[in-house]
Amino acid sequence: MWVHGRTGVRLVFDHQHFWCWNPEGLDLRETVSAMVSTWPLGEVAKVHYSSPRTELREVSQVDRATGKRGVKLVPPVATGHADYVNPFEFAMFLRAVEGLDFDVMLEAKAKDLALFRLRADLQRYGQGLGARFGLAALP
């Protein structure tokens, strides 16, 4: 908000960065609302949404002692984007910011496949949230 106040530039809320870099402990809804308010009337604000990586990764490396190539399991980095979006976390986010108007831009390694999967997951698990995106709930 400091940057917006001095430059007038629109702000984009980034869900994952909010959780990774929020030392002040700002409130989610208040922060999204403040950032959405920086957009001019008639323009739809943008929100970036991603889930953090949670899986172990296999990294190929050379053993210094033997010179042989091997595979090492590396824990996930919380700031890395996942292949898909966690539908339960996304549903909680949507409930927390209900009533605010913005477009969601997904950041996921699987690109369009992540969107298609999230749409199906919202229909199945979203308890009516899919209707906000024109999706009918599945039985």
Domain span holding position 106: 2-52+78-133
Q: Structure pTM? A: 0.82
Cβ–Cβ < 8 Å for 84, 118? yes
Q: What are the 10-residue block averages of pLDDT along the chain, 139 residues in total?
A: 95 94 93 97 96 89 90 86 94 94 95 94 85 74
The answer to whether residue 109 sits within a structural domain is: yes
The number of domains in the chain is 1
Q: What is the CATH number of the domain that holds 38?
A: 3.20.20.150
The answer to whether residue 62 sits within a structural domain is: no
Residue 6, helix vs strand vs coil: helix
The answer to whether residue 67 sits within a structural domain is: no
The answer to whether residue 14 sits within a structural domain is: yes
